[in-house]
Amino acid sequence: MALIVQKYGGTSVGSIERIEAVADKVKGWRDQGHEVVVVVSDMSGETNRLVELAKAIQDSPVPRELDVLLSTGEQVTIALLSMALNKRHCPARSFTGHQVHIRTDSAHNKARIVDIDNKRIRQDLDQGRVVVVAGFQGIDEEGNITTLGRGGSDTSAVALAAALKADECQIYTDVDGVYTTDPRVVPEARRLERITFEEMMEMASLGSKVLQIRSVEFAGKYNVPLRVMSSFEEGEGTLITYEEEGMEEALISGIAFNRDEAKLTIIGVPDQPGVASKILSPIGKANIEVDMIIQNMGADGTTTDFTFTMHRNDYEKALAILEQIKQELGAREVSGDNKIVKISLVGVGMRSHAGIAGTMFEVLANEGINIRMISTSEIKISVVVDEKYLELGVRALHTAFGLENKPI
């Protein structure tokens, strides 16, 4: 018998039929003898309906009151799911964030969980009940209702799992696990049985939008085994844990990619201390998030070339800022490209194996793919290539590293 925290998102509880299906699933786990705590989001579309009501009054409503409003969404779902469970003779009780004391800071609309009192939940579990908790919400020290911001239900589930010392936190989504890469690009992509927190964070931040990064970070911090599963299909999903003995001995766990990248280069900047900051500060102030950064000496030895990547949507804005900076710094030229993509190999196995980067570059060269930028970390190698090479590059790497086969 295990204690399991399950989280079902908005699509999984988007209608009465779906809620009934979730109730079947939850009852199944309980019938196997497990203790189950369920965290749910609001029914899909409900947040938008509530936001529309608020916006009819004011474009930027008071954050405190917006939280009071939005938190009703999950409260509707917990009540309906508990009804559906009780109908199945599966005793269940619903709780708001307030009722189970999910304490957060006071940053309305984007609060962070500080503490959870597990007594009330423990008490109901001990009486054999399924406990259904509203995700995404809590209360601050003064008892004001707070919300964790969109997608915060994953974090609620992980925090509850940590507070209850649960054996596993299962996140139910519309995919059946984490894949070696996007199956729409590589049909042979394989579902991973396990992956480490670190790898998952790299995969998530690189565009495999299965889980909220914050919840993965949280799960890693409190060492909560996290499992991504499908609400709609049977299956084991993907378990996210710390590296363990006997874990898959793969060099590479997966290939992530970002489609909508762009890069800008400012060429011939007179080399002097503080150049990087003079370029990046105005970019940051304009709320443009910069990803990869490369600085090279220019051919003449007295100037430097500075390149960075950003989301394609920010390209025009960043370009205008750089043209301005070019004048101020007396640089020669600004050039850019908004038709690039980033491909990344991710794997904890890289740590102990040299030569991965070499293999990667060779595979891409054999396909005639020109590498425009390179960036590496301990468990990741990223390259920037022309947009048109994305599928070709990902498929070639997937095959070259044998990701379609389960490692022995």
Q: Which of 24, 87, 313, 323 binds its own copies (CB under 8 A)?
A: 87
Q: Which of 11, 44, 86, 359 binds its own copies (CB under 8 A)?
A: 86
Closest CB to its own copies among residues 96, 309: 96
Residue 25 binds its own copies (CB under 8 A): no
CA neighbor of 243 nearest in space, from 291, 200, 181: 200
Which of 76, 125, 280, 374 binds its own copies (CB under 8 A)? It is 76
> In the complex, what is the shortest distance from the CB of residue 69 to its own copies, in angstroms, rounded to a whole number?
4
Comparing C-alpha atoms, which of 143, 124, 116 is closest to residue 135? 116
Phi, psi of 281 (to 5 degrees): -60, -50
Question: Judged by CB under 8 A, does residue 26 bind its own copies?
Answer: no
Min dist. Cβ of residue 269 to its own copies (A):
49
Instruction: Report phi then psi at 18, rounded to 5.
Output: -65, -40
Cα–Cα distance, 24 to 14 (Å, whole number): 15
Count of residues engaged in binding its own copies, rule: CB under 8 A: 36
Q: Interface with its own copies includes 149 (CB under 8 A)? A: no
Single residue of 6, 12, 82, 253 touching its own copies by CB under 8 A: 82
The rounded distance, in Å, linking the Cα atoms of 287 and 362 is 37
CB closer to its own copies, 98 vs 190: 98
Report if residue 57 touches its own copies, rule: CB under 8 A: yes
The beta strand positions in 19-112, using DSSP E, are 35-40, 92-95, 102-104
How far apart, in whole angstroms, are the C-alpha atoms of residue 312 and residue 260? 5
Structural contact between residues 131 and 91, judged by C-beta atoms closer than 8 angstroms? no
Stretch that binds its own copies, among 74-82, 236-244, 277-285, 286-294 (CB under 8 A): 74-82
Binding its own copies (rule: CB under 8 A), the pick from 58, 127, 223, 405 is 58
Site for its own copies in 108-127 (CB under 8 A): 120
Helices (H), 193-330: 197-205, 213-221, 275-285, 315-329
> What percentage of the chain's residues is helix, strand, coil (to nearest 5)?
35, 30, 35
* The binder of its own copies chosen from 1, 56, 299, 408 (CB under 8 A): 56
Cα–Cα distances in angstroms (integers) from residue 345 to residues 25, 79, 161, 206, 364, in the given order: 35, 44, 30, 10, 12
Residues making contact with its own copies (CB under 8 A): 16, 19-20, 50, 53-54, 56-58, 61-62, 64-66, 68-69, 71-72, 75-76, 78-80, 82-84, 86-87, 93-94, 96, 98-99, 120, 143, 145
